[in-house]
């Protein structure tokens, strides 16, 4: 019973292990890229959901507390506030945005090295059959798949956060009335 429970706990790790095994040397790198990307995505989501509201509130209060909102000084300060909020909103988005094309590139690297393995096997044996080629082909295909999967999983969030950062900047600008 306990043993079964233990194996049940280990099952996901085992399946990841077999997956990495069948994907060759590039898979850990794709995995790291995916991990970094998702950490950043979660961090962005957390910021937009919680931290951003507070920051926006304090800045809006500072603006409202000003005695006047019409002078050159006031306008420049308003521009600065908007810029600051925009910097905070964008945050690590460029990094997320670069991992989207990076992951398929890594996958492609795995594909090419996998094909190299196939040809190495062929040149070692002097003939080609499915058995000698299967290992290299598996590495090539699994690496490509993993790269594309990581890339696709991030694409939606990149677009979403980009829109959000733009929209929220605009909304903040609207909130600072003069």
CB of 8 to other proteins, least distance (A): 25
Comparing CB distances to other proteins, the nearer of 53 and 75 is 75
Comparing CB distances to other proteins, the nearer of 125 and 166 is 125
Integer angstrom CA distances of residue 118 from 4, 28, 59, 102, 131 = 39, 21, 60, 24, 10
Comparing CB distances to other proteins, the nearer of 9 and 124 is 124
CB of 63 to other proteins, least distance (A): 12
- Residues near other proteins, by CB under 8 A: 71-74, 76-84, 86-87, 92, 94-95, 97-98, 101-102, 105-106, 108-109, 112-113, 115-116, 119-120, 122-128
Task: Please give the Cα distance from 46 to 58 (Å, whole number).
Answer: 18
Return the half-sphere exposure (C-beta side, CA atoms, 13 A cut-off) of residue 75: 3
CB of 86 to other proteins, least distance (A): 7
Comparing CB distances to other proteins, the nearer of 115 and 145 is 115
Comparing CB distances to other proteins, the nearer of 12 and 126 is 126
- Written in H, E and C, the secondary structure of 73-141 is HHHHHHHHHHHHHHHHHHCCHHHHHHHHHHHHHHHHHHHHHHHHHHHHHHHHHCCCCHHHHHHHHHHHH
CB of 54 to other proteins, least distance (A): 20
CB of 90 to other proteins, least distance (A): 8
- Answer for the pair 108, 145: CB distance below 8 angstroms, yes or no: no
């Amino acid at each position: 019973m306990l043993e079964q429970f233990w194996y049940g706990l280990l099952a996901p790790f085992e399946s990841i292990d077999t997956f990495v095994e069948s994907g060759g040397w590039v898979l850990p790198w794709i995995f790291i890229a995916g991990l970094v990307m998702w950490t950043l995505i979660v961090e962005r989501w957390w910021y937009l959901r919680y931290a951003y509201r507070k920051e926006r509130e304090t800045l809006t209060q500072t603006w409202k507390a000003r005695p006047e909102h019409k002078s050159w000084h006031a306008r420049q300060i308003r521009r600065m506030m908007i810029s600051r909020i925009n910097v905070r909103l964008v945050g690590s988005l460029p990094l997320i945005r670069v991992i989207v094309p990076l992951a398929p590139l890594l996958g492609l690297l795995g594909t090419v090295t996998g094909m190299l393995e196939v040809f190495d096997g062929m040149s070692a044996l002097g003939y080609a059959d499915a058995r000698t080629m299967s290992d290299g082909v598996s590495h090539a295909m699994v690496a490509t798949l993993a790269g594309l999967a990581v890339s696709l999983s991030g694409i939606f969030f990149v677009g979403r956060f980009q829109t959000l950062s733009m929209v929220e900047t605009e909304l903040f600008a609207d909130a600072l009335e003069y």
